[in-house]
Amino acid sequence: MAIDAAVLRRDFPILQRSVNGSKLVYLDSAASAQKPGSVLAALDAFYRESYANVHRGAHTLSAEATDKYEAARARVARFVNAPSERSVVFVRNATEGINLVAHAWGRSALGAGDEIVVTVAEHHANLVPWHLLAAERGVRIRGVPLGSDGRVDMEALAAAIGPRTKLVATFHMSNVLGVINPLPRIAALAHAVGAFMLVDGAQAAAHLPVDVQASGADAYVISGHKLGGPSGIGALWVREELLRQWPPFMGGGEMIRHVEIDRSTYADIPMRFEAGTPAIAEAVGLHAALDYLDEVGRAEIWEHDKALARYAIERLRRLPGVTLYGPEGEDRGGIVPFNVDGVHPHDVASVLDAHGVAIRAGHHCAQPLMQALGVRGTARASFWLHTTTEEIDRLAEAVAEAREFFGAVA
Ligand code: PMP
């Protein structure tokens, strides 16, 4: 059934508020999603009724907290269709998940002359960890450009992958262009040369069904705060037979089997990668967020997203002096970057904010992509399950006003 965003938005308490005298229009879900009431209630109930540290105490609360924390792990596994929760590691966010791969796997598996293939449209979270690794290990990074259609150039990608390629690391959904990468095709190219395939699912997981097994990925990361869950929690899934071989990323409590004064042995997966007290309540909140998303239906969210993107592109295109970026089609979700001729994106965002419309402006942690597009930055409107076409109308009206306002003073 199609989504009724006007009804769903009632689930989000923050969407009832006003900003600068206007009803809030929140078009910045790609940066961080708002939280449904069920997530807030789950956090509140956990702290009121079941909070304690996990995996340690023999007391009832600790056992309850551990059960809930582990239930959240199983829920993440189900959410991405992982074969088992053993290979789901809780991390702080997608960034930490990628850094975990770079440290635990990258430092032991990569050496001088090895190559990492990424695309120009990666988020900095999927570039900088590889830069750090490259500086340490003498690894070479190859960037694949976009084709003339605004999608990753698959021919260039195939040409960049060769016998020295050890890792192909790319996004599932671009946080700027809203476009989906054809993961099975990319994974096939990576696996043909025996390379590891890491997928940055930070953006995609909130917008469409994720099936890590069908995707062909060896690792897939998600971030709780983009899914309507709390910040401070994310998850990394890694193919179990690979994860089992990886050394720890950080040392400390919870991740050990046995410790002596000068040596230790390490716990089995996934605990080996979860040193210290984890984000316990945040995992419980994430569980509630994933339940909410599946109740709404991810296939339905994706259809809604695509329809909103089409509507916004159509609406903004009619405005003179507005440039839109990104491809159009069935692989394009609800993220619409744009620029207004002669107006800095931050100024566009400020005028919109004065109308209660929240968007993002800047390089979106994707400077190589900005360079490829030939811009310093863009404004970016991003939609989610609670976004209505009326809100996109308000966006378009405010953009028209921004143009007029700055046109008048230019
Ligand atoms: N990758 C993509 C595609 C993203 O959109 C983001 C968040 N903007 C990240 C990675 C990083 O996510 P986080 O800040 O939650 O680690």
- For the chain, the farthest-separated pair of C-alpha atoms sits apart, in whole angstroms, at 72
Compute φ and ψ for 286, nearest 5 degrees. Answer: -65, -40
Give CA separation, 216 vs 199, 220, 314, in Å: 10, 10, 34
Q: With b meaning 16 or more CB within 10 Å and e meaning fewer, what string describes 44-76?
A: eebeeebbebbbeeeeeebebbbebbeebbebb
Angle at 277 between CA 275 and CA 279, to 5 degrees: 110
Tokens 């209505």, residue located: 388
Residue with CA at minimum distance from ligand 1 atom 9: 202
Calculate how far, in angstroms, residue 31's C-alpha sits from the geometric centre of ligand 1: 8
Quick check: CB of 94 below 6 Å from ligand 1? yes
Residue with CA at minimum distance from ligand 1 atom 5: 175
**What is the rounded CA–CA span in Å between residue 327 and residue 171?**
16
**What is the rounded CA–CA span in Å between residue 103 and residue 162?**
23
Of all helices (H) and strands (E), which one includes residue 109? helix 107-109
Quick check: CB of 170 below 6 Å from ligand 1? no
Report field, pTM of the whole predicted structure over 0.85:
yes
* pLDDT at residue 7, rounded to an integer: 98
Topology agreement, domain 5-28+297-405 and domain 50-294: no
Q: Which residues are the active-site residues?
A: 365
Q: Is the dihedral of CA 75, 76, 82, 86 positive or negative?
A: negative
**What is the rounded CA–CA span in Å between residue 45 and residue 388?**
31
Compute φ and ψ for 91, nearest 5 degrees. Answer: -130, 180
* pLDDT at residue 1, rounded to an integer: 77
CB-CB contact of 66 with 46 (8 Å): no
> What's 5-28+297-405's CATH class?
alpha beta
Calculate how far, in angstroms, residue 95's C-alpha sits from the geometric centre of ligand 1: 7
**What is the rounded CA–CA span in Å between residue 48 and residue 25?**
32
**What is the rounded CA–CA span in Å between residue 63 and residue 264?**
26
- Among residues 55, 128, 98, the alpha carbon closest in space to that of 274 is found at 55
* pLDDT at residue 360, rounded to an integer: 97
Identify the segments of the chain with pLDDT beneath 50: 408-410
pLDDT (tens digit, 9 = 90+) per residue, 46-64?
999 999 999 877 899 999 9
Calculate how far, in angstroms, residue 190's C-alpha sits from the geometric centre of ligand 1: 23
Give CA separation, 394 vs 178, 321, 380, 397, in Å: 21, 18, 15, 5
3-class secondary structure, 69: helix
Quick check: CB of 119 below 6 Å from ligand 1? no
Q: For 310, what's the count of Cα atoms within 13 Å in the CB-facing half-sphere?
A: 9
Quick check: CB of 202 below 6 Å from ligand 1? yes
**What is the rounded CA–CA span in Å between residue 384 and residue 335?**
9
Peptide bond into 327 cis (omega under 30): no
Q: Is the dihedral of CA 295, 298, 303, 308 positive or negative?
A: positive
The atom of ligand 1 lying closest to the CA of 234 is 15
> What's 50-294's CATH class?
alpha beta
Beta bridge partners of 102: none
Q: With b meaning 16 or more CB within 10 Å and e meaning fewer, what string describes 77-111?
A: bebbebeebbbbbbbbbbbbbbbbbbbbbbeebbe
Calculate how far, in angstroms, residue 49's C-alpha sits from the geometric centre of ligand 1: 32
* pLDDT at residue 408, rounded to an integer: 46
The atom of ligand 1 lying closest to the CA of 96 is 16
**What is the rounded CA–CA span in Å between residue 392 and residue 389?**
5
Cα radius of gyration rounded to whole Å, the chain: 22
- Among residues 343, 380, 342, the alpha carbon closest in space to that of 363 is found at 380
DSSP state of 106: I
Mutate to test the pocket of ligand 1, among 32, 226, 364 (most ligand atoms within 8 A of CB): 226
DSSP state of 49: I
The domain spans of the chain are 5-28+297-405, 50-294
